[in-house]
Amino acid sequence: MNASVKTWVGGTVVVCLAIIGIGWLLVISPQKATASDARDQTANVKLSNDTLEVQVTKLKKQFEQMDQYKTELGVAQKAIPTDQAMADLLRQLNKLADATKVVIVSVSPQSASGPAEPEKTAPTPAPSASASATPAPAPSPTETPATTIVQLPDGLQAIPLNLDVIGTYADTLKFVSGLQTKIGRYVLVTDISQTALAKGEASSGRPATEDGDLESAIGGVVYVLPSTTPTPAPTEKPKMPTSPKDKNVFAPPASASKADTSK
């Protein structure tokens, strides 16, 4: 009897342990893995939400500055317009000349160049002859001055601009400075050459000059960024039907009149 009870107890214990093991393998362990995956997903979602919240906050701050961005965009569009706008540029140059007390004798804009501008560097000066008795080495072949290519951004065009200006030295300096900073257009002065003038009377569109006045030939570049938005084709308005002249539109057709007469 005792042996039988012990056998049943031992068997029961084994069965319970087996049930616990199977339950662990089939139920508890998968649930723990699922819970771990859920925690990882929750952490990833929280991190994503935090990132989105930072981006939304940044966008809100940018939106609050939208008026400022529009103002800056308007200034930039005036500085680099979508067309040459030469009439507006000439008005700005004349206004600057009046403010700096110089006279613009001539303005010569040229055609727009492509996306790259060659800029030649100054050639290396030849060595001066030496008084030493040591014979000079054989001359090397002449080297072509190096050329630097200024690459413009895609779509940006450069318009060469030449000006002839007469004024005092101080006034000319003010004009050149204002040309690059105060007329509202981006202007790059690339070269300038000056000639001293003597006292003279006004003639042929040139102002009267005093001793020490300068005539300055100024070369520069203004920029244009043509719009890439295609212009919509004009749509034709449908023509309204018109009635023939000298005809009663309310009269019955001729075929109907003939039919009535035949009857």
Q: Provide DSSP, 92-109.
A: HHHHHHHHHT-EEEEEEE
**CB neighbours (10 Å) of residue 187?**
25
Give the gyration radius of the chain's Cα atoms. 44
> Tokens for 35?
């819970």
Those residues whose C-beta lies under 8 Å from the C-beta of residue 228, and which sit 6 or more positions away, are 155
Higher per-residue confidence, 202 vs 153: 202
Mean pLDDT calculated for residue range 59-73: 80
Q: Does residue 259 sit within a domain?
A: no
Q: Does residue 129 sit within a domain?
A: no
Q: Identify the pLDDT of residue 71.
A: 80
User: Which tens digit of pLDDT belongs to each residue from 112-136?
Assistant: 665 544 444 444 444 444 444 444 4
Mean pLDDT calculated for residue range 172-195: 91
Q: Are 112 and 83 in contact (CB under 8 A)?
A: no
Looking at the chain, the whole-number percentage of residues with pLDDT higher than 90 is 21
Q: Identify the pLDDT of residue 260.
A: 54
Evaluate if residue 219 carries a pLDDT over 90: yes
Please count the structural domains in the chain.
2
User: Which tens digit of pLDDT belongs to each residue from 15-45?
Assistant: 777 777 776 666 676 766 777 777 788 888 8
Higher per-residue confidence, 122 vs 219: 219
Containing domain of residue 216, as a range? 80-116+147-224
Q: Are 164 and 105 in contact (CB under 8 A)?
A: yes
Q: Which of 113, 107, 80 is nearest to 175 (CA)?
A: 107
Q: Identify the pLDDT of residue 228.
A: 72
Evaluate if residue 180 carries a pLDDT over 50: yes
Q: Identify the pLDDT of residue 124.
A: 46
Q: Which of 180, 179, 188 is nearest to 99 (CA)?
A: 179
Q: Are 224 and 86 in contact (CB under 8 A)?
A: no
Which of 37-51, 53-67, 154-168, 231-245 shows the lowest mean pLDDT across its residues? 231-245
- Rounded CA gap, 129 and 172, in Å? 39
Burial class (CB in 10 A: 0-12, 13-18, 19+), 161: buried
Q: Identify the pLDDT of residue 157.
A: 86
Q: Identify the pLDDT of residue 226.
A: 84
Q: Identify the pLDDT of residue 254.
A: 61
Residues 89, 180 share a domain: yes
Residues 97, 202 share a domain: yes
Whichever domain contains 208, its CATH number is: 3.30.70.60
Mean pLDDT calculated for residue range 201-210: 87
- Rounded CA gap, 262 and 260, in Å? 6
Residues 56, 23 share a domain: yes
Higher per-residue confidence, 191 vs 31: 191
pLDDT-based confidence at residue 176 (cuts at 50, 70, 90): very high
**Beta partners for residue 48, in sequence order:** none
> Tokens for 162?
């030449």
- Rounded CA gap, 54 and 62, in Å? 12
Residues 201, 156 share a domain: yes
